[in-house]
Amino acid sequence: MKDVSLQRKYDPALSEAIRQKQHIVREAGLDIFVKPVPDDDRPGVLDRRFFAGIPLPVRIMGKALCPLVRFILSGGSAKSAASRMRRYFNKVRSLPLAEGVSVSRRTVKTGDAGVAIRIYRREGAVPNTPVFYYIHGGGFAAGCPDVVEEICRQLAWRSGCAGVQVDYRLAPEHPYPAAFDDCYGVLRWIAENAGDFGGDGGRICIAGDSAGGNLAAACAMRDRDEGRGAVKAQALLYPVVNPAGKEDEYFHFSLDQYNMLAGYKAAASFMITVMQSGTSGMIKVLGGDGPYVSPYFGALEGLPPCLVLYGEFDYFRLESEAYARKLSAAGVPVRAVRYSGLSHAFAELIGVQPQAEDCMAEIASFLRSVFRMPQAS
């Protein structure tokens, strides 16, 4: 058996340091579980491993580069813009650490579409286990299953749950709601067919990152609205639940709400600002409104327990925390977890960032808690 500790690009002791230093802060009525940078206690610092991956011009010029980046990403036709997004977002950045997880592939018929899925099973897993259903991000026009493959393998390995990942259709080739229809159709398929791969279709945790978090939250709403009750939990990583960026009593965007240490402010403000500007592109791709487009403004009562995880310097941090507050006000059990020193998409850095591995442990613990499962050995 390979020693996976040798594959990590950091000392495994850093993962333990995160757990030892984690603490709770209460902000605007919400308890937030703060995961610190494990080897730097300064407030407002970017994790040095994350910072090292930021291009030097961004570190120096900061958000002054945002207009150029917006031009590069959005110029030309919708198809050419999507192609550029895919070159950036479709890179695999995780290292393969999970062992003993089988992955099978099949195509599911949903409506008129054949949708590819991947099924994950941990070796030795008992039959009739709960199922996590994962939806990748990428701004609705990019992203792919390979990018989050290690996330899904980690969750199956750590939790013992069966897993399913969906390869939904992307815009602009397939305009919205094709993505939502695919994701919800696969959810229905899981509920009806999970027994075929050792899962329990009545105990599903729907999960997703970024745009995938939007689709996951919307699918959970529709499952509730149609009275199916298959979704028993949600795990949302830096979700885009308010793609139009509309403000209300819970959500107001301002860079002043981010504590950025001098020396890191240029890079942090760039990442936050460029993600904020990207939301206008997302709402254009979605081409509409309503609770399944903007779950943030939907009826939240009766939704299943929700875990929300995000980085300190992510534009979607404020949105995630506002959504957690709204869920709590609606009587939905919610746990908000903030990872200090990081920005968007950090969960894709398994083996590179210790916080990514900790994030997988958090979700697996949430799954075992919601479904009352024993610790995976």
Catalytic residue among 15, 94, 159, 210: 210
- What pLDDT digit, counting tens, does each position of 297-320 carry? 999 999 999 999 999 999 999 999
pLDDT digits (tens, 9 = 90+) for 346-374: 999 999 999 999 999 999 999 999 999 98
Which two structure tokens, joined as six digits, stand for 328? Answer: 């709590």
Residue 48: predicted pLDDT: 97
| Residue at token pair 């929700």 | 306
- 4-370 domain in CATH 3.30.1330.60? no
pTM, rounded to two decimals: 0.96
**Active site includes 269?**
no
pLDDT at 253: 96
User: Is the pLDDT confidence value at 284 over 90?
Assistant: no
Angular region, 367: left φ>0, alpha ψ -120 to 50, beta rest: alpha
Average pLDDT over residues 173-192: 97
CA distance 212 to 235: 11
Catalytic annotation, pick one of 167, 209, 223, 314: 314
Active-site pick, 15, 209, 344, 358? 344
% of residues, the chain, pLDDT over 90: 82
Predicted confidence at residue 243, as pLDDT, reads 94
Quick one: which of 165, 247, 261 has its CA closest to 212? 165
Spatial CA neighbour of 37 closest among 49, 55, 25:
49
Q: Can you say whether the dihedral through the CA atoms of 352, 358, 359, 363 is positive or negative? A: positive
Tokens of residue 312, six digits: 């300190």
Is residue 72 a contact partner of residue 281, using CB atoms and an 8 Å limit?
no
CB atoms within 10 A of CB 193: 13
Q: How far is 318 from 278, CA to CA, in rounded Å?
A: 15
pLDDT digits (tens, 9 = 90+) for 85-125: 899 899 999 999 999 999 999 999 998 889 999 999 999 99
Instruction: Please give the Cα distance from 54 to 40 (Å, whole number).
Output: 18
Spatial separation of the C-alpha atoms in residues 217 and 201, rounded to whole Å? 18
31 is catalytic: no
Let me know if 94 is a catalytic residue: no
Asked if residue 181 has pLDDT above 90, the reply is: yes
State the pLDDT confidence band at 59, using cuts at 50, 70 and 90: confident
d(CA 243, CA 202): 30
Q: Is the peptide bond before 177 cis (omega within 30 degrees of 0)?
A: yes
Q: 223-272, pLDDT tens digit by residue?
A: 999 999 999 999 999 999 999 999 999 999 999 999 999 999 999 999 99
The pLDDT value given to residue 274: 86
